[in-house]
A = this chain, B = another copy of it.
Amino acid sequence: MPPKRGKSKKDIESGEDSDEYRKKRDRNNLAVKRSRVKSKQKTQETMSRVNQLRQENSVLEEKVKSLTQELGFLKELFLAHASNNGNQGKFEGVDLEKLLNDSTESNNENL
């Protein structure tokens, strides 16, 4: 009682000398082609993404650099002012020394 199918013996797979088989192969070959094209596209996009990120990155680095520089300058200015006036680093009632360090340390440690 071999299972009776619509086809002859071993389905379309493996054997089936012609039409159905060929048809199936052809379709698969197309699928393979599509799949590979897609794959290559993705690879390309990934590489582009890398360059894009590199760009953004260097822009940000410069930004950080100039902001840090700026901040450093202001800090010195502050300290100079403070010592000139002997008001213990207080300016407008704020403890600048502490403030400046707070948001400078955490930013410089990664450079």
Q: Give the interface of A toward B (CB within 8 A).
A: 43, 46-47, 49-50, 53-54, 56-57, 59-61, 63-64, 66-71, 73-74, 77-78, 80-81, 84, 91-92, 94, 99, 103-104, 106-107, 110
Contact residues in B for A56 (Cβ distance below 8 Å):
57
Contact (Cβ within 8 A) B92 A77: yes
Question: Residue on B with the closest CB to A110?
Answer: B59
Q: Can you list 13 pairs linking A and B with CB atoms under 8 Å apart?
A: A43-B43, A46-B47, A50-B50, A57-B60, A60-B60, A63-B107, A63-B110, A66-B103, A67-B68, A67-B107, A70-B104, A77-B91, A80-B92
A57 to chain B, nearest CB (A): 6
CB distance from A49 to the nearest CB of B (A): 5
16 additional contacts, CB 8 Å, given A43-B43, A46-B46, A67-B107? A46-B50, A53-B53, A53-B54, A57-B60, A59-B110, A60-B63, A60-B64, A63-B107, A64-B67, A66-B106, A67-B71, A69-B103, A73-B99, A77-B91, A77-B94, A81-B92
- Min distance, Cβ A82 to any Cβ of chain B, angstroms: 10
